[in-house]
Amino acid sequence: MSNQIRLLAENISCQHCAMTIQRELEAVEGARVLSVDVPGKTVTLEYDSEAALAQAEQLLDEIGYPAKRIS
In order of their start, the domains of the chain are 3-69 (3.30.70.100)
- Give the helix ranges, DSSP H, for the chain: 15-25, 50-62
Cα distances (Å, whole numbers) of residue 69 to 16, 39: 22, 17
Cα distances (Å, whole numbers) of residue 53 to 13, 14, 15, 35, 39: 23, 23, 23, 15, 23
CA atoms within 13 A on the CB side of 42: 12
pLDDT, tens digit, for every residue of 32-44? 999 999 999 999 9
User: What is the reported pTM?
Assistant: 0.92
pLDDT, tens digit, for every residue of 9-28? 999 999 999 999 999 999 99
Question: Given this model, what pLDDT does residue 67 score?
Answer: 97
Flag whether pLDDT at 2 surpasses 90: no
Question: Given this model, what pLDDT does residue 1 score?
Answer: 55
Question: Given this model, what pLDDT does residue 71 score?
Answer: 77
